[in-house]
Amino acid sequence: SLCWTDGLYTWTMKNISHKENIAKCKHIFVNFDLPDMVVGTILVITALLVLCSCLVLMVKVLGSLLKGQVAVVIKKTINTDFPYPFSWVTGYLAILVGTGMTFIVQSSSVFSSTLTPLAGIGVISIERMYPLMLGANIGTTTTAILAALASPGDTLKSALQIALCH
């Protein structure tokens, strides 16, 4: 291990062939004598448990909030198609809504993570979720283009190419 403790401080080595104390380590497992692989495994398992717990709790909270008349109104509003001559527009409008919402929150992950429990509790149908997710992907590209436009002039072309690949 490249970190060790002498009772008061925890140190890290700069070079394995030349031992020199360069900095004190600052992490949650600083006072435990565990190998890096064990610490990494503990942290990955903890992160997965927290992620799954948050998703389950989010579904439960949304389920309790969206009961009764509120759920009926939201289901009717989100899952309703336009009348016959314009029914083909519904999916495209959902794509635009997904793009706009992702552009507002600046993250397709946040928007997708919100849609997943809504589909899980039945507020949004899978058929409606698909164009919203497509819009989220388009919205991410728009966000990436905006970030690329903030780059200096000499790297603007490369930054825009990378943003469009996103």
Predicted pLDDT at 98? 92
Predicted pLDDT at 22? 62
The per-residue pLDDT for range 106-158, each reduced to its tens digit, is: 888 888 888 888 888 888 889 999 999 999 999 888 888 988 999 988 899 99
Backbone φ and ψ of 4, nearest 5°: -150, 165
Task: Name the residue ranges covered by the structural domains of the chain.
Answer: 1-33, 66-165
Rounded (10°) angle between helices 36-65 and 108-120: 60
The per-residue pLDDT for range 61-103, each reduced to its tens digit, is: 877 877 778 778 878 888 888 888 888 899 999 999 999 999 8
Q: What is the number of other CB atoms lying within 10 angstroms of the CB of residue 7?
A: 6
Q: Which tokens go with 67?
A: 């009961």
For residue 24, CA distances in Å to 11, 14, 32, 34 come to 5, 11, 15, 17
Predicted pLDDT at 144? 87
Predicted pLDDT at 100? 92
Question: Helix, strand, or coil here: 72?
Answer: helix
